[in-house]
């Protein structure tokens, strides 16, 4: 399921689908690959502002989860 969410979050043409996939990733484990994908989206100035904000927010939440696990 996670690879599909990564694909949708990164490449789907519909911005709403991409945001939904990003928010779904927040409910999973804080895997390094997921955090990197979200960071890439959040830092990409060519992406929609709302999409970047969602990716930034979820990425930060996953980083916090990862820190607690350590």
Domain ranges of the chain: 2-69
Q: Average pLDDT in the 48-63 region?
A: 97
Closest CA to 10 of 1, 22, 28, 2: 22
Q: What would the pLDDT profile of 13-44 be if each residue is shown by its tens digit?
A: 999 999 999 999 999 999 999 999 999 999 99
Q: Quick check: 2 and 28 in contact, CB under 8 A?
A: yes
Chain mean pLDDT for the chain? 95
Q: Average pLDDT in the 49-62 region?
A: 97
Tell me what pLDDT residue 69 has: 76
Closest CA to 4 of 30, 32, 37: 37
Tell me what pLDDT residue 43 has: 97
Q: Average pLDDT in the 39-61 region?
A: 97
């Amino acid at each position: 399921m996670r690879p599909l969410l990564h694909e949708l979050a990164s490449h789907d043409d519909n911005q709403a689908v991409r945001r939904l996939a990003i928010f779904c990733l927040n409910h999973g484990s804080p895997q390094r690959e997921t955090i990197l994908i979200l960071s890439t989206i959040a830092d990409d100035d060519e992406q929609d502002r709302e999409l970047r904000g969602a990716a930034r927010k979820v990425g930060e939440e996953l980083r916090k989860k990862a820190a607690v696990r350590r």
